[in-house]
Amino acid sequence: MATPSRSLRPLGPLKQALRRCRAERQQQRRHASTEALYPSLQPRYPPPSPGFRPSQAIKQNRFEEGMRKIPVIPPPRSTIKACRDPIQAVTQSQLTVLDPNGARTRLFAPSNPDRAQPGDILHVRLRNGEPFSGVCLSIRQRHQPIDTAILLRNQLTRIGVEMWFKVYSPNVEAIEVVQRKEKRARRANLYYMRQSRHDVGSVEGVVRGWLRQKSGGNVRVKGRDANSSKKKNNKRGRN
Amino acid sequence: MSTKGIARLFQRPPRFLCPSVSRQFVRTLKSIHPGKNSSRFNHGHNLPILGSSHTAAFLRKEPMLPLRTGALAIKKGMTGVYDPETCRRVPCTVLQLDRCQVISHKRRDTHGYWAVQVGSGTKEARNVSRPERGHFAAQEVPLKEHVVEFRVKDEEGLPGVGSIITADLFKEGQFVDTRAVTRGMGFAGGMKRWGFSGQPASHGTSLTHRAMGSAGPSQGSGSRVLPGKKMAGRMGGEMHTVQNLKVVKVDAENGIVVVHGAVPGPKNSMVKIQDAIKKPWPEVDAAVGLMMPEGMPTRLAAEV
């Protein structure tokens, strides 16, 4: 495109100069007056006085100034504060009835060194029904102490029998330790005793001896442990 | 003409006094005996109630509604209780009442039904909106965290506003209905949500073991999915009622109500307890379990 001759457009350079001038002025304004252009950058409030506490100020200013106050009636006594753990309360009231002298709790309390443990031979007397004795395989303590239960294993007529007993059930009259395990069991649940090579077999002989001793008869010790009778059983060719 | 007929003649002013009324030049039978019901719509006082109306719904529900209010409790968890006679352990849910109080009434003449508005817990005033605080202040009761309504049969079932509902509202041995919002399960498939059988694990089944299956028959039956078809979707998180739970134990001092069996919802959720509608109503005094706090003006239900 050919440049137009000077004679044709005498005011051409003047116009260009004016345009540059305007652009410069705008640029200058932009740099000089940033604060004027952006009010958000300016401090909105004067600096706080020396004794100013923000938390106080928030509390005071937050709540409905100048509106009619609505009265608030104080709440009544809270039962939740009176009884924080109602399940515990229900359980305790149960325990005072079911276990008045605390013998059952003590028999399975972790703080008691003489407590019944898995592997011990226990004898359970029932209010209605035959007494049952067997090796304790497991002690189940669920959400509440009231749900404590024991699993006993024995052999009746050469058939393995397992029975769960609720420790605090009113049907259970007494739980007695017939014989302790020589060494503390290294499992909480002795389910391996269900296998034939670990099965102790019937504990009837041990329990009978213990009953005789209890009633004051002559003591006939067959074996020190429930496990000691195992070998004999094995020799009989049961396994 | 009898005096009655003359009176009827002069019931309306003469026509020349009200020229805006268009004069009928042709005297017809209708103009001589204007009908009582001039509307072409079938409405009036002596018509039978429609089955789908509010009135019909109220009358249908009325015989089943409990005579007295229920209580709003918090589910605390489950435990077992031994029955000393049968020596049996029964699984129980422990519920606790916390500052359960009557807030206001719903009246048949004003609101269309009889109900007791009951609140429980407490809330800080700054966390309650002004309209809500106004409602509580108008009834002169403290602020409540949870507010529900208990439908009752008639006006006699409305206890005084402000009376505190205690746990001995319920008697040991009576039956109650419990209502609560169930646990939200999220988006669940048809097997979990509706108990569908799914497909076999083997015998040629490929990649389709827990699918819903067919959603309905094809051409001939409309080629469409019928409304209400059970499908996968959001499960739980909705109000559920468990009826006829026996009250095993009541401790008014600590606000404890122990009911036999399970109650919907997770722990620390709100549970509505009310007399079971499918059992005979418990024989209790009307004032039992309702304590008016001291310093509170005793207002009868009729005054409110």
Angle at A103 between CA A100 and CA A104, to 5 degrees: 95
B-chain CB neighbours of A74 within 8 Å are 142
Distance CA B301, CA B304 (A): 6
Q: What is the residue-wise DSSP string for chain A?
A: -PPPPTTT-TTHHHHHHHHHHHHHHHHHHHHHTHHHH-GGGS-SSPPPPTT--HHHHHHHHHS-TTSPPPP-PPP---HHHH-S-HHHHHHHHHHHHH-TT-HHHHHT-TT-TT---TT-EEEEEESSS--EEEEEEEEE--SSGGG-EEEEEEEETTEEEEEEEETT-TTEEEEEEEE--SS--S-SS-GGGGSTTT-----HHHHHHHHHHHHT-------SSTTHHHHHHHHTT--
pLDDT at B277: 95
Q: Is the ipTM of this complex over 0.95?
A: no
- In a domain, residue B261? The reply is yes
The nearest alpha carbon in chain A to B84 belongs to A170
pLDDT at A232: 47
Report pLDDT digits (tens) over B148-186: 999 999 999 999 999 999 999 999 999 999 999 999 999
Residue B285 domain flag = yes
- B47 lies in a domain? no
Query: Is there a domain that residue B52 lies in?
Result: no
Interatomic CA distance for residues A95 and A106, integer angstroms: 12
The pLDDT value recorded for residue B63 is 93
pLDDT at B30: 60
CA distance A235 to A231: 6
Which residues of chain A, if any, have pLDDT below 70? 1-7, 31-37, 39, 56-66, 218-239
**Contact call for residues A16 and A24 (beta carbons, < 8 A):** no
Confidence of residue B59 (pLDDT cuts 50, 70, 90): very high
**Cβ-defined contact of B254 to A127 (cutoff 8 Å):** no
Give residues with Cβ within 8 angstroms of A90, minimum separation 6. Answer: B79, B81, B92, B94, B249, B251, B256, B258
Q: Which domains does chain A have, with CATH numbers?
A: 93-235 (2.30.30.790)
Q: What domain range includes position B253?
A: 58-185+236-292
Task: Check pLDDT > 70 for residue B293.
Answer: yes
CB atoms B122 and A169 under 8 Å: no
pLDDT at residue B292, rounded to an integer: 87
Would residue B24 count as lying in a domain?
Answer: no
Closest-CA residue in chain B for A142?
A: B79
Query: Is residue B213 included in any domain, yes or no?
Result: no
A169 vs B contacts (CB less than 8 Å): 82, 87, 89
Q: What is the pLDDT of residues A196-235, one digit of tens each?
A: 999 999 999 999 999 999 888 765 554 444 454 444 444 4
Number of structural domains (chain B) is 1
Closest to A146 (Cβ–Cβ): which among B79, B133, B164?
A: B79
Would you tell me how many other CB atoms lie within 10 Å of the CB of residue A56?
Answer: 10
Per-residue pLDDT reduced to its tens digit, B187-229 = 999 999 999 999 999 999 999 999 999 998 988 888 999 999 9
The number of helices, as runs of H, and strands, as runs of E, in chain B is: 6, 13
- Whether residue B202 lies inside any domain: the answer is no
Please give the Cα distance from A198 to A33 (Å, whole number): 93
* CATH number, position B100: 2.40.30.10
User: Are A75 and B99 in contact (CB < 8 Å)?
Assistant: yes
CB atoms within 10 A of CB A62: 9
pLDDT digits (tens, 9 = 90+) for B265-282: 999 999 999 999 999 999
Distance from CA of A153 to the nearest CA of B (A): 22
The answer as to whether B85 is a domain residue is: yes
What is the rounded distance in angstroms from the CA atom of residue A30 to the CA atom of residue A19? 17
pLDDT tens for residues B95-119? 999 999 999 999 999 999 999 999 9
Q: Which chain B residues are Cβ-neighbours of A61 within 8 angstroms? A: none
Residues of B in contact with A94 (CB under 8 A): 81-82
